[in-house]
C-alpha cells in the first residue's frame, strides 16, 4: 500500500504531480507556439529532477541566481545562465570551477565588474557569454536601456575572454492585473526597439533578447524583439500567480500540508505552518494574509509566528478540529521551497515520490587551509 | 593565516563570538540572580554547540518547537520541553522515539489531544510531564488562565502516563518599549496569581510556572510566581530586540555578510542578501526596512527580491561601490538562521570556527515501506 498523505508529519510541501505536469506542458507549448527560447529559472524548484523535465520539454538551458544553483544544475544541463551580477572573488572562483563542458552566460550591469570577471575567466581558460542587464522599470539592477547599455556592451566586447551575447531584462514591475499590462508591454517594446537599433548602429547586434517572469510570461511574445524567456514560478504557481490571473487556482501545484494544532482561542484555529514554512510574503494589493486553504480559499493565514499559522475563521462555515489536515497555498512559493530539504510528489491523497531541494542553501563554506575548525573560546 | 571574512562567499551568517559569549553570560547571570530556572528556546540557534554553552552556564534544560529540534538536542541534553501542541500521529511517533533517557515535557492547550498522547506514551512505556498552556493575551495558543486551565490540568492528572507539571505561557504580546511593560506585568501577575490559587484549591499545585520571550526576559522576575524562563533570541539578538530596548545595538551578535553587487540605479545599492537570506520580517512600528547596516544603522534594506536587498542611500553620506562588503543586522534573526545550513563564528575580521544549523528543516520524510521512491510519471 502506498503512503497516504495522512501519515506524513507536518508541515511538509506537497506537489500535485498532475498539476505540475500540466504547468510544465503549458509553458513548453507557449514557448514553442511563439518561437521563444525557454530558459526556465530554477530558483522556484531548485531540483534537478524538475529541471530535467523542463529540458525534456524543449528548454534550451536553465537560469540560476546562485552558485549553489549553478553547481547543482550542472549535473543535468550544460547551458546555464547566471542571471545575477558576477561580483565577488569567492563567487567568481566558484563560477569558474563549474565543469568546462558548461556553456556559461552571465548578466552584468556594470563595467566595474569586467576586469575581475575577465581575469577569472582567463585563469580558468574559459570564455563567457555576457548579457547586458537593462532596467526596464523595476529599479533593481540594470543600466538604462539607452547609451549606458550600448557603452557597457562595447566594454564587454572589448574585454578579453568575454563575448557580448545579448540583452536581458526582468519586467518584475509589470505584475498588475492583466488589463493594465497593455501599456507596459507597449513601453517595453518601444524601449527595446530603440536599444536594439542603437546596438546595431554600434556594430553589436544582440543575438538574444532575454525577458521573463511568470506574471508576464503569457504575453511576453507581444514584447517586440524578445527571443528568450525565463519564467520560474510557473512550475508550481502560488496565491500571487492566481491573484494576478497568470494561472487558475487549480493550477497551484504546491501546497503546504499542515495540521490544526489548536482551537483554544475562539474565532480562529492554529496550524503548524508559520513563517518557517510559509514565509511572510504579502499578496501586494491582491488580498490579505500569507496563505489560503486550498479547499476553502476564503480562509487565510492572517497572523504567524515561527511555527504557528493562525487561520481566521470569521468568514467561513468550516469548523476545523484539532488534528484536522489542511493544504495551504502560499503567497510566494519560491520562498516556501527554500525552507524545506525535501518535496513530496502526490497523486490524489497518496505519495508517489519525493525529491530533494538539492540547490537550496549556499553549499559548503570554504575556509583557508590554515583555518582549523575548532571549538570557539566562549567561556 | 586564518581565513579573513573578505574571502567568504556571500551571503553568509556571521556570529561575533565575543558578543555571543557576552549574551550567554548575561542571561545566565540574570537567571541566577533572580533564582529562575533558565530553559532557553533553541529555535533561534538550532545548534547543539550553542545549546551546550547554555547548559554549561546553568540552563536546566532546553525548549524546542519541532521534533527536529528535539531529536537534535537529545544529543546534548536529557531534559527537553516541547513548547508546542503535541498533535498528529507522525509527530507523536517521532516524539516517542526520543531516547528513553530524555525527560520529556510537552505543553497542551486542549483535552482533545490527551487520549492520543497518553496512548503513544503508554506504547512507548514513557511518562510525560505536561504543562498546561494558558493564553495571557497573545491570542495564539493556550486556554484562558481560569477555570478552563484548571479543568485541563485535572484532565491531565487523570490521564494515564501523563503528569501535570505546571503552567506555561508566552507573553509575546508584551513587546512594546520598556515604558509600557509595567501595566502588562501587573496584569500578568494578577492573572497568574489567581490561576495558581485555583490550582491549589483543586489540589493541583503547579511545580513550574514557565514564562518567556526575550523581549520581556529582563523583567520576567517581576511577574509573580514565575519559576522558569525560555528566552531564545537573546543569544544573537536582532534589530527588533535592539529597537524595543531589550538589548544594545552592540549586543547584536549575528549579522548577514553581504556584497554590494549593483549600484546601477541611482540613490540605492543592491546587496546579495534578499528574502532568501534576510527574510521579510517587519520591525512592527519601530522603524522601516528589513535589516540595517551594522556600521551604518541609518542605512536599511527597504526593498527585497529573493536574492536582492536594496539599500536606500538617501539618508547617508556613505557611498558603497560594487564589491564592497556590508554586515546586515536582520529584523528577526530566528528566521535568518533557518535559511542557512552553516554559521560562521568570527573574532574581529577573522573566521575562528563554523558550526552547522543542525536542527534546521524537518528531517527525513518517512514513507511506508511499500511506497517505493520512483521517478514520477510526468510525461
Which H or E element spans position A156? helix A147-157
pLDDT on residue A377: 56
CA separation for the pair A171, A138 (Å, rounded): 6
**Strand extents, DSSP E, B2-53:** 12-16, 37-38
Instruction: Mutate one of B52, B84, B362 to test the A interface: name it (highest A CB count within 10 A).
Output: B362
Q: Is residue A117 part of a domain?
A: yes
Q: Which residues of A touch B259 (CB under 8 A)?
A: 87-88, 91
Residue A253 and residue A230 share a domain = no
| Contact in structure between B130 and B105 (CB atoms under 8 Å) | yes
Which of the four pLDDT bands, split at 50, 70 and 90, describes residue A175? low
pLDDT one-digit tens code per residue, A335-350:
999 999 999 999 999 9
Nearest in space to A168 (alpha carbons), one of A141, A139, A197, A198:
A141
Looking at chain A, the whole-number percentage of residues with pLDDT higher than 90 is 84
Query: Which of B135, B282, B342 is closest, CB to CB, to A365?
Result: B342
8 Å CB contact between B311 and B299: yes
If asked whether residues B95 and B223 sit together in one domain, one would say: yes
Residue B106 near residue B130 (C-beta atoms within 8 A): yes
Output the CA angle A364-A365-A368, nearest 5 degrees.
130
Distance CA B123, CA B97 (A): 11
A148–chain B nearest CA distance, Å = 10
CA distance B74 to chain A (A): 19
A370 within domain boundaries:
no
Which of B8, B168, B212, B376 has the highest number of chain A CBs within 10 A, making it the mutation to test binding with A? B376
DSSP type of residue B54:
H
Q: For position B379, what pLDDT does the model report? A: 42
pLDDT under 50: residue ranges of chain B: 177, 373, 379
Partners of residue A308 in chain B, C-beta under 8 Å: 140-141
Instruction: Let me know if residue B13 belongs to a domain.
Output: no
**Distance from C-alpha of B178 to C-alpha of B158, rounded to nearest angstrom:** 42
pLDDT in tens, B238-292: 999 999 899 999 999 999 999 999 999 999 999 999 999 999 999 977 789 999 9
Cα A53 to chain center, whole Å? Answer: 16
Distance from CA of A307 to the nearest CA of B (A): 7
End residue of a domain, out of A204, A237, A270:
A237
| Tally of CB atoms within 10 A around B179 | 7
Asked if A353 lies within 8 A of B361 by C-beta distance, the reply is no
Q: Are strands B228-229 and B37-38 parallel, antiparallel or unpaired?
A: parallel
Picking from B61, B59, B111, B123, the residue whose alpha carbon sits closest to that of residue B86 is B111
Shared domain check, B281 and B265:
yes
Closest Cα of chain A to B342: distance in Å? 8
The answer to whether the CB atoms of A338 and B335 lie below 8 A apart is: no
Q: Report pLDDT digits (tens) over A283-306.
A: 977 689 999 999 999 999 999 999
Q: Are residues A142 and A229 in the same domain?
A: yes
> What DSSP character marks residue B364?
P
Pair B45, B335: CB distance under 8 Å: no
Residues 6+ apart with CB under 8 A from B145: B134, B135, B136, B167, B169, B191, B192, B194, B195
B229 shares a domain with B114: yes
Could you say which of A140, A262, A281 has the minimum Cβ distance to residue B141?
A262
- Shortest CA gap A46–chain B (Å): 13
Does residue A376 fall inside a structural domain? no
A186 shares its domain with A44: yes
Task: Tell me how close the Cα of B205 comes to any Cα of chain A, in angstroms.
Answer: 23
- Cβ distance A233 to A44 under 8 Å? yes
Element (DSSP H or E) covering residue A311: strand A309-312
pLDDT at position A218, please?
A: 87
Interface test with B, best of A85, A233, A360 (most B CBs within 10 A): A85
Asked if A135 lies within 8 A of B265 by C-beta distance, the reply is: yes
> CA A303 to CA B116: how far, in whole Å?
28
Kind and range of the H or E element at A23? helix A17-33
Chain B contact set for A371 (CB, 8 A): 2-3, 351
Rounded to whole angstroms, the Cα distance separating A178 from A69 reads 31
Mean pLDDT across A56-81: 98
A22 in a domain, yes or no?
yes
Beta strands A342-347 and A12-16: pairing type? parallel
Q: Report yes or no: B329 and B255 within 8 Å, Cβ to Cβ.
A: yes
Helix, strand and coil in chain A, % to nearest 5: 30, 25, 45
pLDDT value of position B285: 74
Q: How far apart are CA B8 and CA A368, in angstroms?
A: 10
User: Is the model's pLDDT at A177 over the cut of 50?
Assistant: no
User: Are B365 and A8 within 8 A, CB to CB?
Assistant: yes
DSSP assigned state of B218 = T
- Domain boundary among the residues A206, A237, A268 is at A237
Q: Are A156 and A114 in contact (CB under 8 A)?
A: yes
- Going from the C-alpha of A104 to that of each of A88, A207, A269, A359, B322, the distances in angstroms are 17, 15, 49, 18, 22
Find which of B46, B68, B265, B374 to mutate to test the A interface (most A CBs within 10 Å of its CB): B265
Please judge whether B367 and A354 are an interchain contact, meaning their C-beta atoms are less than 8 angstroms apart.
Answer: yes
Closest in B8, B265, B321 to A365, CB measured: B8
Q: Cβ–Cβ of A21/B110 closer than 8 Å?
A: no
- d(CA B375, CA B149) in angstroms, rounded, equals 50
Cβ-based contacts of A240 with chain B (< 8 Å): none
Same domain, A263 and A307: yes
Look at residue B372 and tell me if it is in a domain. no
Whether B370 contacts A2, CB under 8 Å:
yes
Q: Are residues A172 and A230 in the same domain?
A: yes
Same domain, B157 and B252: no
Give the end of a domain, one of A189, A206, A237. A237
- CB contacts of B8 in chain A (<8 Å) are 90, 365-366
Q: Is residue B351 part of a domain?
A: yes
Is A306 in contact with B65 (Cβ distance < 8 A)? Answer: yes
Q: A144 to chain B, minimum CA–CA distance in Å?
A: 8
Beta-carbon contacts of B179 under 8 Å, excluding residues fewer than 6 positions away, are none
pLDDT for B218: 87
Cβ–Cβ below 8 Å for B260 and A370: no
A283 neighbors B107 (Cβ within 8 angstroms): no
The total number of structural domains that make up chain A: 2
Nearest by CB: A339 against B11, B307, B338: B338
Nearest to B378 among A20, A88, A374 (CB): A20
Residue of B nearest to A260 (CA): B87
pLDDT tens profile A258-286: 999 999 999 999 999 999 999 999 997 76
Domain at A147, CATH number = 3.20.20.10
**Residue A278, SS3 per DSSP:** helix
Q: Which of B116, B259, B340 sits opposite A361 (nearest CB)?
A: B340
Q: Assess whether pLDDT exceeds 70 at residue A90.
A: yes
CA distance B165 to B280: 37
Instruction: Give the pTM.
Output: 0.95
Distance from the B345 Cα atom to the nearest Cα atom in chain A, whole angstroms: 8
> The domain that contains A333 carries what CATH number?
2.40.37.20
Element (H, E) at B182: helix B181-201
**Residues B296 and B316 occupy one common structural domain:** yes
For cell 563595467, name the residue: A111
**CB A43 to CB B263 under 8 A?**
no
Residue B135 shares a structural domain with residue B246 = no
Q: Are strands B37-38 and B342-347 parallel, antiparallel or unpaired?
A: unpaired
In a domain, B40, yes or no: yes
Closest chain A CA to residue B336: A276
**Contact (CB<8Å) B322/A142:** no
The Cα–Cα gap between A172 and B305 comes to: 10
Domain check: are A98 and A175 in the same one?
yes
User: CB-based contacts of B154: which residues, under 8 Å, 6+ apart?
Assistant: B202, B204
CA distance A337 to chain B (A): 10
Residue A182 has a pLDDT of 79
Reported as type and span, the H/E element at residue A190 is helix A181-201
Chain-chain contact of A264 with B142 (C-beta, under 8 angstroms): yes
**Are the CB atoms for A253 and A15 separated by under 8 Å?**
yes
* Alpha carbon B342 to its chain's center: 17
CA distance A87 to chain B (A): 6
Q: Which residue of A has its CA nearest to B135?
A: A265
Q: What is the extent of the structural domain holding A51?
A: 17-237
Amino acid at each position: 500500500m502506498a503512503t497516504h498523505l495522512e501519515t506524513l508529519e507536518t508541515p511538509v510541501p506537497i506537489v500535485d504531480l498532475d498539476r505540475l505536469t500540466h504547468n510544465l506542458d503549458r509553458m513548453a507549448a507557449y514557448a514553442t507556439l511563439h518561437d521563444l527560447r525557454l530558459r526556465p529559472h530554477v530558483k522556484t524548484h531548485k531540483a534537478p529532477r524538475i529541471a530535467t523535465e523542463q529540458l525534456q520539454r524543449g528548454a534550451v538551458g536553465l537560469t540560476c541566481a546562485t552558485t549553489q544553483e549553478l553547481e547543482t544544475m550542472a549535473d543535468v544541463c550544460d547551458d546555464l545562465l547566471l542571471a545575477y551580477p558576477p561580483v565577488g572573488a569567492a563567487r567568481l572562483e566558484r563560477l569558474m570551477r563549474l565543469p568546462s563542458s558548461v556553456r556559461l552566460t552571465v548578466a552584468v550591469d556594470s563595467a566595474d565588474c569586467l576586469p575581475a570577471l575577465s581575469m577569472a575567466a582567463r585563469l580558468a581558460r574559459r570564455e563567457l557569454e555576457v548579457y547586458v542587464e537593462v532596467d526596464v522599470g523595476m529599479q533593481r539592477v540594470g543600466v538604462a536601456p539607452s547609451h549606458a547599455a550600448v557603452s557597457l556592451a562595447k566594454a564587454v566586447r572589448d574585454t578579453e575572454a568575454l563575448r557580448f551575447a545579448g540583452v536581458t531584462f526582468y519586467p518584475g514591475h509589470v505584475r498588475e492585473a492583466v488589463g493594465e499590462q497593455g501599456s507596459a508591454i507597449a513601453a517595453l517594446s518601444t524601449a527595446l526597439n530603440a536599444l536594439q537599433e542603437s546596438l546595431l548602429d554600434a556594430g553589436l547586434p544582440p543575438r538574444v533578447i532575454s525577458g521573463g517572469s511568470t506574471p508576464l510570461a503569457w504575453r511576453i511574445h507581444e514584447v517586440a524583439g524578445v527571443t528568450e524567456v525565463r519564467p520560474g514560478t510557473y512550475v508550481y504557481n502560488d496565491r500571487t500567480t492566481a491573484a494576478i490571473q497568470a494561472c487558475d487556482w487549480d493550477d497551484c501545484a504546491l501546497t503546504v500540508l499542515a495540521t490544526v494544532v489548536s482551537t483554544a482561542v475562539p474565532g480562529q484555529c492554529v496550524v503548524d505552518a508559520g513563517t518557517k514554512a510559509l514565509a511572510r510574503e504579502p499578496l501586494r494589493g491582491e488580498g490579505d494574509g500569507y496563505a489560503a486553504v486550498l479547499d476553502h480559499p476564503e480562509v487565510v493565514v492572517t497572523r504567524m509566528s515561527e511555527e504557528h499559522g493562525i487561520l481566521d475563521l470569521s468568514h467561513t462555515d468550516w469548523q476545523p478540529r484539532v488534528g484536522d489536515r489542511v493544504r495551504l497555498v502560499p503567497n510566494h512559493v519560491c520562498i516556501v521551497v527554500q525552507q524545506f530539504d525535501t518535496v513530496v510528489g502526490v497523486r490524489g491523497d497518496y505519495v508517489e515520490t519525493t525529491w530533494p531541494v538539492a540547490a537550496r542553501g549556499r553549499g559548503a563554506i570554504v575556509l583557508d587551509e590554515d583555518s582549523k575548525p575548532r571549538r570557539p573560546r566562549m567561556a
